Amino acid sequence: MASFLTCSSTLFTLIFIFLITPFFIVTDAKFSEQLPGPKASHVVEKMSHLHFYFHDILSGKHPTAITVAGRKNEFGGTAIIDDPLTEGVEHGSKVVGRAQGMYAKSSLDAASLLMVMNFEFIEGKYNGSSLSVLGRNPFLETVREMPVVGGTGLFRFARGYVLAKTVRYNVGTGDAVVEYNVFVMHH
């Protein structure tokens, strides 16, 4: 008898919890919800490697980088860029995308940049897809690594890194060509 009573009161408690609980979680579900994630076997993460040259042009009639705040070679100097990304190192080489964003001299010795930019691609299957890079660029070092923090289109859920290496630099004008190797995992 005693065990029957315990059992039925446990049952009653369970029914009570099931009836009441939805009222407590319903408001929560509106702000954020867990989507039924794809089964592990359905997600095929791809690793892509991209290689291109970034042309930062400060001189001439059509600069692709303009200083918008501070002084170019001093702490605080900030530039907005819309730099072409090309297949080959030459300026006239096929354009595969553009690097749009900004960089700022963010170290007191003015030897390091904060870079915030989106690579917008226009070539082949990546046409319309983009990658976002946010990182520290100590540009006097031979190879600089910066994180890829996200992407769109074919690069949804992207994460990875870039290796940037200056291959041409004009001391007089500040024009530079930088080789980019991008390693990115995405869906």
Binding-site ranges for ligand NAG (CB under 6 A):
122-123, 127-128
Tokens of 1: 């008898």
Of 59 and 127, nearer to ligand NAG (C-beta) is 127
From the CB of 186, what's the least distance to ligand NAG, in Å? 19
Of 122 and 140, nearer to ligand NAG (C-beta) is 122
Q: Taking Cα atoms as reference points, which of 104, 136, 108, 134 lies closest to residue 119?
A: 134
From the CB of 125, what's the least distance to ligand NAG, in Å? 9
Tokens of 17: 């919890």
Of 14 and 122, nearer to ligand NAG (C-beta) is 122
Q: Which residue is nearest to ligand NAG (CB)?
A: 127
The pair phi, psi for residue 6, each rounded to 5°, is: -60, -45
Across 114-149, b (16+ Cβ under 10 Å) vs e yields ebebbbbbeeeebeebbbbbebebebeeeebebebe
From the CB of 93, what's the least distance to ligand NAG, in Å? 15
